[in-house]
Amino acid sequence: EPEVTQTPSHQVTQMGQEVILRCVPISNHLYFYWYRQILGQKVEFLVSFYNNEISEKSEIFDDQFSVERPDGSNFTLKIRSTKLEDSAMYFCASTLPPADTQYFGPGTRLTVL
């Protein structure tokens, strides 16, 4: 069964460094999403991406964040200058319209020291 994959599973970085989190959505899906979950808190929407542009973004998704689909398979989330409070699990998800069921990848645990 097709699934969303994410790499790396765990990323440790120093505060102020740039990180790129990678996702490979399900191959025929068209909408892509990033979410984050701070330890012990709820899953929060960051951004949705369709047709090579951002569809919607939350208040969390500020200028430190960017997304890109550099080729036909990868979908990346870049954090330009990480802060301690960026430490969280980051989940990628995808869906194929007209269905709107989102399928989640296993997540990347980001630890900012």
Closest contact distance (angstroms) between CB of 16 and other proteins is: 27
Residue 50 interacts with other proteins (CB under 8 A)? yes
58-77 residues in contact with other proteins (CB under 8 A) are 58
What span, in angstroms and rounded, lies between the C-alpha atoms of 75 and 22? 6
CA–CA distances in Å: residue 23 to residues 40, 56, 81: 23, 18, 20
Rg of the chain over Cα atoms, rounded to whole angstroms, equals 13
Question: Of 31, 82, 86, 110, which one interacts with other proteins (CB under 8 A)?
Answer: 31
Binding residue for other proteins, selected from 41, 63, 70, 71, defined by CB under 8 A: 41
- 67 burial type by CB count under 10 A (0-12 exposed, 13-18 middle, 19+ buried): buried
Amino acid symbol at 113: L
Q: How many residues bind other proteins (CB under 8 A)?
A: 29
Q: Does 97 bind other proteins (CB under 8 A)?
A: yes
Q: Is 111 in the site for other proteins (CB under 8 A)?
A: no
Q: Which are the contacts of 1, defined by CB distance < 8 A and separation ≥ 6? A: none
Give the footprint of other proteins on this chain (CB under 8 A). Answer: 31, 33, 35, 41-48, 50, 55-56, 58, 89, 91, 93, 95, 97-98, 100-107
